Structure 1
């Protein structure tokens, strides 16, 4: 099933998004893989300042709309799992391996970032364009701002969860996994995917198939990031 359709609006403000993530943080065990990602995401999102848009949407609507639509994709996946529904393929590996003792916290966090940027952000751009009746190019500044937020998230993950240099050896499989993923490359691919999905909006069957393939590809890579490692 494709996940190109617009997510139903369950939370409409940044504050309500943060409240939902705080509730998850309080409810989940600390070692749970979803909790690991949610905790660092919540910290960075809560600390991020907002600035007015510089272009057409001078009242900040684009910033708030993209932030909320982006977070809604993650929260909708969590809600789908809790309600016994099938979440997007990009999130399934994290949900399936969230309690695996051989997966390290750093892997959980990076798999969550990968699912969120590789799939959710592209569809969130399309959601926002529909909401504001604008083209992706009008959201490019906001997309770059979200990219900066994700860079802060990645830095925080590595600072908090990466083993010390005395423990992270060149031969360590975790070193190989870390070197196989690039936030910059993922962000560039996401922007191209968002523009392609918007261009295909009048061909819903093709757009749906494109979104489904994107979802599956991101899920495959997330599964590799969650490869159980020896101690």
Structure 2
């Protein structure tokens, strides 16, 4: 039986950088929690890419790498937009649960970074957001399936019901599906505003602040 051949891509470089962060960061660090989640997503993306599940391979790689670079800039260089600052501020807080760290990172990355990465990719490839909708949806589907698994793995067990109860209420206020929908709308708006740079910058700043506010709420410390 013929074996599939893996050709190195920029996605492999992204995976290597995330693995290096996984080794370097303390296990209980809030950013490390998110990094493990994102590493799993990116490894799965890489497998699907090798399996030919992305019809437009070039567009899929371009979007994925630009998306990842926005997180890696935060993790490696510490240059953080407003949406990432709550996670960096609370990353070692003993009253914040691993699931909160994971979802706060997903919120920042999907709610803000993905919209800007989509616009960047459109500029690079000379296309419209609608031309990348399939790639956007496939990445989103990967994240939805992972979010379900993350909730199952990181949610406290029944013996911690007193802790899980407020956690359940807190995290029930955020939905990845709604965040995806808002991100798609934001990317289309930013693309429509590309000829008005001052207005586009203001819109992006407001998006960054709003996503940061949601991330701060997700990181509300709970009783230990």
Query: Is 2:35 the partner of 1:38?
Result: yes
* CA RMSD, 1 decimal: 1.6
Name the structure 1 match of 2:178. 185
Name the structure 2 match of 1:142. 135
Which of 192, 195, 211 matches 2:204? 211
1:8-40 CA-partner distances (Å, limit 9, x unpaired):
xxxx81000001100100000000000000012
Distance 2:15 2:161 in 1: 33
Once the 2 structures are TM-superposed, how far is the Cα of residue 120 of structure 1 from its aligned partner? 0.5
CA contact (8 A) 1:168 1:175 kept: no
Once the 2 structures are TM-superposed, how far is the Cα of residue 156 of structure 1 from its aligned partner? 2.4
Distance 1:125 1:157, change over 3 A: same
1:116-147 CA-partner distances (Å, limit 9, x unpaired):
00000000100110110000000000000010
Which of 111, 119, 131 matches 2:112? 119
> Gaps (5+ residues) in structure 1?
1-11
Query: Is 2:74 the partner of 1:77?
Result: yes
> Gaps (5+ residues) in structure 2?
1-8
Q: Give 1 or 2: higher helix fraction.
A: 2
Once the 2 structures are TM-superposed, how far is the Cα of residue 167 of structure 1 from its aligned partner? 2.8
Name the structure 2 match of 1:7. none
CA contact (8 A) 1:66 1:128 kept: yes
Which of 19, 23, 26 matches 1:22? 19
Count of residues in Structure 1 that have an aligned counterpart in Structure 2: 212
1:71-115 CA-partner distances (Å, limit 9, x unpaired):
11111122331xxxx410000000000000110101000000000
Distance 2:34 2:152 in 1: 14
Once the 2 structures are TM-superposed, how far is the Cα of residue 169 of structure 1 from its aligned partner? 5.5
Query: Normalising by the residue count of structure 1, what TM-score does the alignment of the two structures yield?
Result: 0.87
Which of 73, 79, 89 matches 1:96? 89
Name the structure 1 match of 2:4. none
CA contact (8 A) 1:70 1:121 kept: yes
CA contact (8 A) 1:44 1:152 kept: no
Distance 1:67 1:29, change over 3 A: same
Once the 2 structures are TM-superposed, how far is the Cα of residue 53 of structure 1 from its aligned partner? 4.3
